[in-house]
């Protein structure tokens, strides 16, 4: 149990009744409350939960000019037993601390991070969806608020946590996700900020992502920034290849995000006795394995998507097609296992969930759709 007991200013007018829980988007509707904490005079101060709403920021704020900002993404679930669970927040807290270090931002205490999320979820527990595959998405973010045009680390910051009821990021009802391997643009380079969760990394992906969508693909498959030869990650996911009986995923060497779901997948594969390797894999190796019939399956892993089977990969003039409907796919087993743990349908033997106090009001009826 946390030592933090955060003050709460309740909203005077909930927007919950306006939300269509039968037709959720992803991150376009926000819950009634948010967490707020400021850094000034050398310390984080005034942690509190307040009504969600606009904030005041000066035009000279350093975050607007030099991008000194970091964020995280995780989820809370309403379980089959109606308990509220937050999935692996400690790992997100650790990753946020690493991002803060890279961007010269004062780190957030891990227990404050987890306690703020737990208490915010409890305050807005009515906002948690009930359908399998849906969740309350949690977005912590920190940005520099000091007004100054010097290129330097700020001396004032704002730490917010907002939440949103969401569906899964990708709709794969018509099949899996399609990817276009990017031959020209670079997401991240060695020595850069690729392993930090900062907005600039995502801004760099927007134009290539739009080009991929215009060509009929869902996402960009990123190759390394030096030679555009080695596979790195997908737009919002880490990526796994199953070649014969071995799962392969690119290593964490500073240019890709250390995904929480990636870590969960590797843990589950290890415990099942599956062969896996964290190593560089070139796009040429992927093509050769496909031509030889050895590339059995490709899937992405990320908080927003959980596990997303890859149906198609395009590289220059070559198209790789995969069967994502057959039984026995690892992507389906991994998806079911992770979601079952997140929702309490399976025992959490890893201690990944942080249990929030049971809801005080009746939940909407649980469904499996």
Distance CA 82, CA 262 (A): 27
Architecture category of domain 16-170+344-356 in CATH = 2-Layer Sandwich (3.30)
pLDDT tens per residue, range 322-358: 999 888 999 999 999 999 999 999 999 999 999 997 5
Of the candidates 98, 26, 75, the one whose C-alpha atom is nearest the C-alpha of residue 261 is 75
Where does 177-324 sit in CATH, by number?
Answer: 3.20.10.10
Percent of the chain scoring above 70 in pLDDT: 95
Average pLDDT across the chain, whole number:
93
Instruction: Write the burial class of residue 93 (CB in 10 Å: 0-12 exposed, 13-18 middle, 19+ buried).
Output: buried
Q: Are 302 and 237 in contact (CB under 8 A)?
A: yes
Q: What is the pLDDT of residue 180?
A: 97
Q: What is the pLDDT of residue 365?
A: 43
For residue 47, how far is the Cα from the chain centroid?
24
pLDDT tens per residue, range 284-293: 999 999 999 9
Q: Concatenated DSSP letters for 267-290?
A: HHHHHHT-EEEE---BHHHHHHHH
pLDDT tens per residue, range 236-282: 899 999 999 999 999 999 999 999 999 999 999 999 999 999 999 99
Q: What count of Cα atoms within 13 Å lies in the side-chain half-sphere of residue 331?
A: 27
Domain residues of the chain, as ranges? 16-170+344-356, 177-324
Overall size of the chain counted in residues: 369
Q: Are 238 and 302 in contact (CB under 8 A)?
A: yes
Note the pTM of the prediction, 2 decimals.
Answer: 0.94
Residue 311 β-bridge partners:
none
Q: Are 80 and 366 in contact (CB under 8 A)?
A: yes
Instruction: Write the burial class of residue 244 (CB in 10 Å: 0-12 exposed, 13-18 middle, 19+ buried).
Output: exposed
Residue 112 burial (CB count, 10 A): 19
Tokens (6 digits) for 77: 């679930």
Distance CA 51, CA 57 (A): 17
Percent of the chain scoring above 90 in pLDDT: 91
Q: What is the pLDDT of residue 2?
A: 63
pLDDT tens per residue, range 39-87: 999 999 999 999 999 999 999 999 999 999 999 999 999 999 999 999 9
Distance CA 137, CA 143 (A): 20
Q: What is the pLDDT of residue 369?
A: 38
């Amino acid at each position: 149990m946390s030592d933090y007991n955060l003050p709460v200013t309740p909203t005077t007018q909930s927007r919950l009744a306006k939300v269509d829980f039968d037709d959720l988007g992803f991150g376009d509707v926000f819950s009634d409350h948010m967490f707020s904490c400021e850094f000034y005079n050398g310390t984080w101060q005034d942690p509190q939960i307040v009504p969600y709403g606009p904030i005041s920021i000066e035009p000279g704020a350093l975050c607007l000019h030099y991008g000194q900002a970091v964020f995280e993404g995780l989820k809370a679930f309403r379980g089959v037993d109606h308990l509220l669970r937050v999935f692996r927040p400690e790992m997100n807290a650790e990753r946020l601390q690493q991002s803060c270090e890279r961007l010269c931002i004062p780190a957030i205490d891990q227990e404050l991070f987890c306690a703020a999320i737990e208490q915010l979820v409890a305050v807005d527990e009515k906002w948690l969806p009930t359908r399998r595959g849906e969740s309350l998405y949690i977005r912590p973010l920190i940005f520099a608020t000091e007004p100054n045009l010097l290129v330097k680390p700020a001396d004032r910051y704002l730490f917010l946590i907002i939440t949103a009821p969401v569906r899964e990021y990708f709709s794969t009802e018509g099949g899996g996700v399609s990817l276009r391997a990017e031959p020209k643009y670079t997401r991240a380079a060695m020595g850069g900020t690729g392993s930090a969760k900062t907005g600039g990394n995502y801004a760099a992906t927007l134009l290539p992502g739009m080009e991929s969508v215009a060509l009929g693909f869902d996402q960009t498959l990123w190759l390394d920034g030096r030679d555009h030869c080695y596979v790195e990650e997908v737009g919002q996911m880490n990526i796994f290849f199953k070649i014969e009986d071995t799962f392969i995923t690119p290593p964490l060497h500073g240019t890709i995000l250390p995904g929480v779901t990636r870590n969960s997948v590797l843990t589950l594969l290890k415990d099942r006795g599956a062969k896996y390797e964290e190593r560089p894999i070139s796009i040429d190796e992927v093509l050769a394995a496909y031509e030889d019939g050895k590339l059995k399956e490709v899937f992405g892993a990320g908080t927003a998507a959980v596990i997303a089977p890859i149906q198609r990969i395009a590289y220059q003039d070559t198209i790789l097609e995969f069967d994502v409907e057959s039984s026995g796919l690892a992507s389906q087993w991994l998806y079911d296992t992770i979601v079952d743990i997140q929702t309490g349908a399976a025992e959490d033997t890893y201690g990944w969930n942080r249990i929030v106090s049971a809801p005080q009001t009746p939940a909407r009826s649980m469904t499996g759709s």
